[in-house]
Amino acid sequence: MKDSYGRIIDYMRISITDRCNLRCRYCMPEGISLVPMEEILTYEEIAEICRAASELGISRLKITGGEPLVRPECPELIGMLKKIPGIKQVTMTTNGVALSQYLPRLLENGLDAVNISLDTLNPQTYQQITGKNQLDDVFEGIRQSVRAGLPVKLNAVLQPGINGGEWLELARLTTLFPLDVRFIEMMPIGYGRNYRPVSNQELLLRLKNMYPDLRKDESIRGNGPAVYYRIPQAKGSVGFISALHGKFCKSCNRLRLTSQGKLKPCLCFEEEVDVMEILRGKESAVHRELQEDVRAATRKELLKQRISKAVGRKPREHHFETAEQITECRQMAQIGG
């Protein structure tokens, strides 16, 4: 599927919950209000949307949240999505706290790769950022995933004065383990607006100074806009996702589906296209009168129309650099980061 700017849209990020077992200060601090469970897409509904999306060319899915592993049966959802014709890859982004517990079931259900959020290697800083003392559980999830041969990417959001000084230690994990480490610039979404980002441009310069033989790693990895470099002899690469200091909108390939059944053309803007309406709205009551096969085909066509509409509404680029132009007001955990 191509959007109005000729970009191929073949990737969808699906938020399956707005709940989380951590309280990262820039994402979901204490006291945030949660959506009632009955307003959240069921797994059957998510699969129905994905069946329609796959017929339009969406071939790669990322399960996110909130924290996807706090929703019961998350591994089985992955199994359901993997069976959809045309879906080539299903990956997940997690805070890693419950990863080791669920890893066997995730692997059984065909998870293709995992992104694990890890902003710090220091237990006190971890507690300061996430509000919890579970760094060892995350390390265990990383260890077991690597041992199982699952492709692993660690994602770090740096904050000056908190974990900003850990960038080199985090980058050097790629010299010790076969995994990639990516630095994501703090985006002015939700509570992220209150934080100053660490510039990836500056980080890259510092990394080049430290390793003059640093080489760009051109092999395509993952679904996103990261640019990768490799420290000589390292086992993995260091990636930079620079929403602010390296606008990557020209290569945007994605749609987002929120846990409440809305398609988001772009993270920066509040505009959404409602698909829940097709599944649960007035029209769906009319569909109930139809024969099962006619009903499924009718709903699929309507879903495809909405998905195409969302793709058609993708803007040329975000405007994170101009605060007044950012119209998305919800938190990252509510949208699906």
Contact residues: ligand SAM, CB under 6 A? 20, 26-27, 64-65, 67, 93-95, 117, 155, 157, 184, 186-187, 189-190, 192, 332-333, 337
In the bound complex, what is the minimum distance in angstroms from residue 67's beta carbon to ligand SAM?
4
Q: What is the CA radius of gyration of the chain?
A: 20
- H or E segment at 142? helix 135-147
Using DSSP bridges, classify how beta strands 152-156 and 180-184 pair: parallel, antiparallel or unpaired.
parallel
Q: Is 24 in the site for ligand SF4 (CB under 6 A)?
A: yes
According to CB under 6 A, which one of 22, 106, 179, 335 is a site residue for ligand SF4?
A: 22
Q: Which does 224 bind (CB under 5 to 8 A by kind): ligand SF4, ligand SAM, none?
A: none
The DSSP line for 73-134 is THHHHHHHHHTSTT--EEEEEE-STTHHHHHHHHHHTT--EEEEE---S-HHHHHHHHSS--
- The interaxial angle of helices 74-82 and 43-55, nearest 10 deg, is 30
Backbone phi, psi, residue 325, to 5°: -90, -5
Q: Is 28 in the site for ligand SF4 (CB under 6 A)?
A: yes
Q: Which amino acid is at 217?
A: D
- List the Cα angle 102/107/113 in 5-degree steps: 100
According to CB under 6 A, which one of 9, 20, 77, 92 is a site residue for ligand SF4?
A: 20
Q: For ligand SAM, which is the closer residue by CB, 68 or 261?
A: 68
Q: Is 27 in the site for ligand SF4 (CB under 6 A)?
A: yes
Q: Which does 189 bind (CB under 5 to 8 A by kind): ligand SF4, ligand SAM, none?
A: ligand SAM
Q: Which does 64 bind (CB under 5 to 8 A by kind): ligand SF4, ligand SAM, none?
A: ligand SAM
Instruction: List contacts with ligand SF4 (CB under 6 A).
Output: 20, 22-24, 27-28, 65-67, 95, 117, 333
